[in-house]
């Protein structure tokens, strides 16, 4: 049964030109003209890649600092002891500790958005795979979340750095801000994410890399972008 869309959603959908692939700038401008929702929607860029997610050498993941932040308050949990723990607390991490945090997560604690760990702590943190893995929260050196410099990691995440990873269907989805952001802020953040994903293209990827790119907000219709334009740069 087809999902019944709200009057606001249908009105926004009528503003989208059928069969058109928009430039990022035009898409942002149109998105800002949509009838407003009852809350400040999160704006997301969704990218379908022409890679095989089942092949380990075609995995696409990375991090991207958003020039204007994400507009979201990010709660950080840090597994660390001693000076690294103190540095993380001073940098603004909400939850910091080692054995107490390990037990807390094992007991089902989930009130955090990013997990950071020192290399020393990872021996025990890895055992939390079934708690952290499904939410994509396992610390990883490739995303800068396994480090002795916990203060820098916390500061980067708090400043609006986002992590992205290819899902099992070959898609990447990344928040680039809120509808309340200015068009220029959304454009800068969107370009930063898409260009970072393009640079992360695996050497083994063949043919077209960006199959499709869509700009959307939480309860608004998606706007198809001209994916080919990003690969020409």
pLDDT tens digits, one per residue of 218-232: 999 999 999 999 986
Residues 126 and 172 reside in one and the same domain: no
pLDDT score recorded for residue 146:
96
Statement: residue 3 has pLDDT above 80: no
- Domain contains 28: yes
Cα angle 100, 98, 72 (rounded to 5 degrees) comes to 90
Statement: residue 150 has pLDDT above 50: yes
Task: Output the domain CATH number for residue 98.
Answer: 3.40.50.790
Report whether 71 contacts 186 (CB < 8 A).
no
Statement: residue 35 has pLDDT above 90: yes
107-114, Cβ contacts within 8 angstroms, sequence gap of 24 or more: 110/135, 111/75, 112/75, 112/76, 112/77, 112/137, 113/72, 113/74, 113/75, 113/76, 114/74, 114/75, 114/76, 114/77, 114/145, 114/157, 114/163
- Domain contains 1: no
- Domain contains 121: yes
- Can you read off the two tokens belonging to residue 176? 């680039």
Last residue of a domain, one of 131, 159, 187: 159
Domain range for residue 25?
7-69+162-231
CA distance linking residue 94 with residue 112, whole number of Å = 8
**Mean local confidence (pLDDT), 15-26:** 96
Residues 153 and 93 reside in one and the same domain: yes
**Mean local confidence (pLDDT), 115-127:** 96
Instruction: Assign 233 a pLDDT band (cuts: 50, 70, 90).
Output: low
Cα angle 104, 108, 112 (rounded to 5 degrees) comes to 75
Selected residue with higher pLDDT from 143 and 198: 198
| Residue 46 vs residues 65, 118, 135, 205: alpha-carbon distances, Å | 17, 31, 18, 19
What are φ and ψ of residue 133, in 5° steps? -55, -50
Question: Mean pLDDT across the chain, nearest whole number?
Answer: 93
Statement: residue 79 has pLDDT above 60: yes
pLDDT score recorded for residue 94:
96
Residues 81 and 126 reside in one and the same domain: yes
Last residue of a domain, one of 159, 178, 201: 159
| CA within 13 Å, CB half, 170 | 14
Look at residues 218, 231, 230 and name the one whose alpha carbon lies nearest to residue 12.
218
| CA within 13 Å, CB half, 203 | 0
Residues 11 and 121 reside in one and the same domain: no
- Domain contains 108: yes
- Domain contains 210: yes
Note the pLDDT tens digit of each residue in 126-138.
Answer: 999 999 988 889 9
- Domain contains 174: yes
- Domain contains 224: yes
Residues 154 and 96 reside in one and the same domain: yes
Last residue of a domain, one of 136, 159, 182: 159
Task: Output the domain CATH number for residue 24.
Answer: 3.30.190.20
Residues 154 and 174 reside in one and the same domain: no
Statement: residue 1 has pLDDT above 50: no
**Mean local confidence (pLDDT), 115-126:** 96
- Domain contains 2: no
pTM equals 0.78
Residues 60 and 168 reside in one and the same domain: yes
Note the pLDDT tens digit of each residue in 47-59.
Answer: 999 999 889 899 8
**Mean local confidence (pLDDT), 98-110:** 95
Q: How many domains does the chain have?
A: 2
Note the pLDDT tens digit of each residue in 157-205.
Answer: 888 888 898 998 999 999 999 999 999 999 999 999 999 999 999 998 8
């Amino acid at each position: 049964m087809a999902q019944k869309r709200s009057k606001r959603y249908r009105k926004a959908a009528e503003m989208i030109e059928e069969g058109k692939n928009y430039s990022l700038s035009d898409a942002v401008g149109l998105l800002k003209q949509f009838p407003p929702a009852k809350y400040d929607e999160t704006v997301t860029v969704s990218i379908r890649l022409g890679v095989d997610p089942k092949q380990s050498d075609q995995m696409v993941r990375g991090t991207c600092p958003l020039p204007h932040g994400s507009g979201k308050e990010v709660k950080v949990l840090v597994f660390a002891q001693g000076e690294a723990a103190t540095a993380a607390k001073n940098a603004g991490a909400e939850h910091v500790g080692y054995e107490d945090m390990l037990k807390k997560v094992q007991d089902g604690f989930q009130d955090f958005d990013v997990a950071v760990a020192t290399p020393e702590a990872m021996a025990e943190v890895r055992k939390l795979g079934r708690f952290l893995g499904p939410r994509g929260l396992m610390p990883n050196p490739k995303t800068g979340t396994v480090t002795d410099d916990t203060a820098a990691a916390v500061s980067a995440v708090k400043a609006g750095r986002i992590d992205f990873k290819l899902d099992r269907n070959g898609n990447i989805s990344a928040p680039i801000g809120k509808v309340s952001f200015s068009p220029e802020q959304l454009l800068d953040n969107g370009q930063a994410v898409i260009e970072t994903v393009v640079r992360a293209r695996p050497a083994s990827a063949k043919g077209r890399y960006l199959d499709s790119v869509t700009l959307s907000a939480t309860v608004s219709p998606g706007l198809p972008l001209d994916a080919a334009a990003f690969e020409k740069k």
